[in-house]
């Protein structure tokens, strides 16, 4: 009787032990969920404890965090997300999935993403809106910048310079002081068929030297404002529109290439005084900045990636170029923008997913 009881008790205890062990392991795994491996965004993960553990303040000048706001993954299922832009009238975010050749839309009112807002998008990358609320997009496949009119028609704003095709326009912003349109042309959409089409030249700068351009809103005239950059990628203005910032991702194409954000002084349709704003070294790691945006305090928020765990996400720089904060994400971040009713919600398009986080600042510009 005692042996039987002992045997049964031992058997039950062993089963309970293994069950309890598995339960404890699962609980520890959930408690250890982090942005590094993405487990904190799984359906079984518990709510994030405030303050946000993956927002890292590096300098006392960073005062843009909220103690009761966290990173949210709104959507996943992209192949390579890019180009978020906020439409204040419609209260929605439009963004690109380059590889799937479509644009998607996050509708704030229902908190959901609608697939195929626009299909085909000609492998569009960067997007923005002008002062009339019309969407402007950079197309990889056609190597042009287009505007979607209010009647649904498409206007080609630019498709060549000095008689030669663009490489593949990448990102675009509008200067509301004169409504001019500024865009970059690094040519990533011409380096293969995955994000566009293979250039006939087979060159790293397929059709012409990589550059930044300006379109005059009144005349439509196109001006090359600078080619003093290897791979101009994301771009944004300072709050007063007196400076233009452009990220240079030359290192992912050219040996020993640039990993930095550059700045220029804006003089009408010209840029002067080009110089390095900041490098992309962080914690001994070398990554790249893609899309960039400025807040009302003049801080630059940069989508960062290709540096590995503890690097990928969003880096924040003070107006003097010092890194003052970092947001860690489990994916390479491609582009960002401020949106929401008060322009205080940071949207982050990172590889396969769309993330968002409320911050204690506003975007300096309307999209």
Tens digits of per-residue pLDDT, 162-203? 999 999 999 999 999 999 999 999 989 888 888 888 877 656
- Left, alpha or beta for 133 (phi > 0: left; psi -120 to 50: alpha)? left
**Beta carbons of 198 and 191 less than 8 angstroms apart:** yes
Tens digits of per-residue pLDDT, 136-146? 999 999 999 99
**Beta carbons of 86 and 347 less than 8 angstroms apart:** yes
CA distance 235 to 232: 8
Question: What contacts 104, CB < 8 A, 6 or more positions away?
Answer: 75, 78, 94, 95, 96, 97, 113, 114, 115, 116, 117
**Beta carbons of 291 and 234 less than 8 angstroms apart:** yes
Alpha carbon of residue 62 to chain centroid: 20
User: What tokens does 88 get?
Assistant: 């204040």
CA distance 189 to 165: 13
Can you give the pLDDT at residue 80?
97
User: Which fold is adopted by the domain 52-358?
Assistant: Neuraminidase (2.120.10)
Can you give the pLDDT at residue 230?
95
DSSP 68: T
Can you give the pLDDT at residue 35?
62
CA distance 22 to 205: 55
Residue percentage of the chain with pLDDT more than 90: 78
Tens digits of per-residue pLDDT, 225-237? 999 999 999 999 9
Average pLDDT (68-77) is 96
Can you give the pLDDT at residue 202?
59
**Beta carbons of 58 and 323 less than 8 angstroms apart:** yes
Can you give the pLDDT at residue 34?
58
CA-only gyration radius of the chain, Å: 23
Tens digits of per-residue pLDDT, 255-286? 999 999 999 999 999 999 999 999 998 888 99
With a cut of 80, say whether residue 354 has pLDDT above it. yes
Instruction: Label residue 15 by pLDDT band (50, 70, 90).
Output: very low
Listed by start position, the domains of the chain span 1-28, 52-358
CA distance 321 to 302: 12
Can you give the pLDDT at residue 204?
62
Can you give the pLDDT at residue 245?
98
DSSP 299: P
Instruction: Label residue 365 by pLDDT band (50, 70, 90).
Output: confident
Can you give the pLDDT at residue 69?
97
């Amino acid at each position: 009787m005692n042996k039987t009881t002992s045997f049964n008790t031992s058997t039950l205890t062993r089963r309970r032990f293994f069950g309890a062990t598995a339960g404890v392991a699962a609980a520890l795994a959930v408690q250890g969920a982090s942005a590094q491996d993405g487990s904190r965004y799984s359906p079984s993960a518990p709510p994030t404890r405030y303050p946000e553990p993956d927002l890292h303040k590096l300098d006392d000048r960073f005062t843009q965090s909220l103690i009761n706001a966290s990173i949210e993954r709104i959507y996943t299922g992209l192949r390579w997300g890019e180009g978020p832009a906020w439409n204040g009238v419609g209260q929605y975010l439009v963004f690109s999935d380059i590889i799937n050749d479509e644009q998607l839309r996050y509708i704030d009112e229902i908190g959901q993403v609608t697939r195929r807002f626009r299909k085909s998008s000609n492998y569009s990358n960067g997007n923005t809106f002008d002062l009339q609320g019309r969407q402007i997009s950079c197309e990889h496949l056609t190597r042009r910048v287009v505007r979607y009119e209010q009647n649904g028609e498409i206007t080609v704003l630019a498709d060549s310079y000095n008689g030669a095709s663009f490489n593949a326009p990448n990102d675009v912003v509008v200067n509301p002081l004169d409504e001019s349109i500024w865009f970059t042309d690094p040519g990533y959409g011409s380096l293969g068929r995955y994000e566009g089409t293979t250039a006939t030249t087979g060159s790293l700068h397929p059709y012409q030297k990589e550059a930044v351009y300006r379109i005059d809103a009144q005349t439509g005239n196109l001006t090359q404002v600078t080619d003093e950059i290897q791979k101009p990628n994301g771009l944004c203005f300072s709050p007063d529109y007196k400076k233009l910032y452009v990220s240079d991702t030359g290192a992912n194409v050219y040996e020993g290439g640039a990993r930095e954000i550059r700045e220029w002084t804006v003089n009408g349709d010209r840029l002067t005084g080009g110089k390095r704003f900041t490098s992309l070294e962080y914690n001994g790691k070398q990554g790249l900045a893609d899309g960039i945006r400025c807040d009302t305090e003049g801080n630059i928020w940069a989508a960062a990636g290709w540096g590995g765990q503890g690097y990928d996400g969003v880096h924040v720089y003070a107006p003097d170029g010092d890194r003052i904060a970092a947001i860690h994400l489990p994916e390479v971040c491609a582009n960002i923008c401020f949106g929401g009713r008060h322009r205080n919600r940071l949207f982050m398009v990172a590889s396969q997913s769309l993330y968002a986080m409320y911050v204690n600042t506003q975007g300096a510009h309307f999209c």
